[in-house]
Amino acid sequence: MITTALMDKRFLRRIYGVLGYPARHSLSPLMHKAAFSALKINAEYKIFEKKPDELAGFMRSLAKERIFGLNITIPYKEKVIPFLDKLSPGARLIAAVNTVKVSQNKLEGFNTDGEGFLEHLKKDLKFNPKDKTISIIGAGGASKAVSVYLSKARPKLITIYDIDKNKALDLIGRLKDNFKNTGFILAGSIEGLDIKNSDLLINATAIGMKEDDPLMVSEESLHKRLLVYDLIYNPSETKLLNLAKLKGARVSNGLGMLLYQGCASFELWTAKPAPIKIMRQALNEGVKKL
């Protein structure tokens, strides 16, 4: 009897996980395991580190392997799209997916990165983007998610700079086509971001993760009215955040974005409110060990 009950429990257990390459340092397992355990959900959360040539086989095996949901990380946020049956409007606009939900053998893709960023900005940092002037460094995957969700909140102006001008040009074009209440400018250089007149500066590049990374902005451009948001969370305080703090600006790293995108993924999978306090605690403990 006991054996049958155990087998039933195991059979009914849902599998979730993070797909990436590499993926082993992801903090998502900590956050989601804590949430499943707190809500007594019979589920486990695994790390799926798959090489590029394993991607297709893995994506086609999800339903068979009882995998009900995935978080997607580098380098697969765009590459998983051909394997999905459906895309949420947000993921379609961003053209990248960070969450997959599997139901009735169908795969649906979402992007909760931008939503997570906006939730953190509004709820924890009490910053309402409406009518604000915003500067963004970087036009890659994270920048696309963040700028789309910021645009939904109707800022006055968003200026974007990327070392690869074509990427920024493409993103600006897409934003202009979809959001008519905000002005969008392509900056040809960091100076073109006009940080002195901005309310919010976002670093959406990986510059700042390494100790010897350069500071991309000039010290003089940072000021007291500015909120500086670095999407990087390891280290918890980049050179940019450190200097901005010294100049009297408010600052935030990307841990809050990670938390809220995880909460949004959890809610998509389970249709239950995410236990945010427990997930936050798990993340805070995990980040100390990085």
- Rule CB under 6 A: is residue 254 a binding residue for ligand NAP? yes
Active-site position among 9, 51, 77, 126: 77
- Rule CB under 6 A: is residue 232 a binding residue for ligand NAP? yes
Burial 104-141 (b: 16+ CB within 10 A, else e): eeebbbbbbbbbbbbbbbeeeeebebeebbbbbbbbbb
Shortest Å, Cβ 4 to ligand NAP: 42
- Rule CB under 6 A: is residue 204 a binding residue for ligand NAP? yes
Residue nearer to ligand NAP on the CB measure, 4 or 166: 166
Shortest Å, Cβ 269 to ligand NAP: 18
Closest by CA position to 268, among listed 110, 152, 149, 63: 110
- Rule CB under 6 A: is residue 216 a binding residue for ligand NAP? yes
- Rule CB under 6 A: is residue 290 a binding residue for ligand NAP? no
- Rule CB under 6 A: is residue 206 a binding residue for ligand NAP? yes
Closest by CA position to 155, among listed 198, 215, 211: 198
Rounded-to-5 percentages of helix, strand, coil across the chain:
45, 20, 40
Asked whether the CA dihedral 277, 283, 284, 286 is positive or negative, the reply is positive
Site size with ligand NAP, rule: CB under 6 A: 26
Q: Which of 167, 196, 223, 250 is close enough to bind ligand NAP by CB under 6 A?
A: 167
Q: Which of 136, 172, 249, 258 is close enough to bind ligand NAP by CB under 6 A?
A: 258
Question: Is 196 a residue of the active site?
Answer: no
Q: Which of 108, 115, 119, 162 is close enough to bind ligand NAP by CB under 6 A?
A: 162
Residue nearer to ligand NAP on the CB measure, 30 or 231: 231
Closest by CA position to 198, among listed 113, 118, 120, 127: 127
Q: How far is CA 258 from CA 118, 119, 121, in A?
A: 11, 11, 12
Residues 121-150 that bind ligand NAP (CB under 6 A): 137-143
Shortest Å, Cβ 213 to ligand NAP: 9
Asked whether the CA dihedral 4, 6, 11, 12 is positive or negative, the reply is positive
- Rule CB under 6 A: is residue 184 a binding residue for ligand NAP? no
| Residues 6 or more apart whose Cβ sits within 8 Å of residue 80 | 19, 55, 59, 72, 97, 100, 109
Catalytic (active-site) positions: 77
By the criterion CB under 6 A, which residues form the site for ligand NAP? 113, 137-143, 161-164, 167, 204-207, 209, 216, 231-233, 254, 257-258, 261
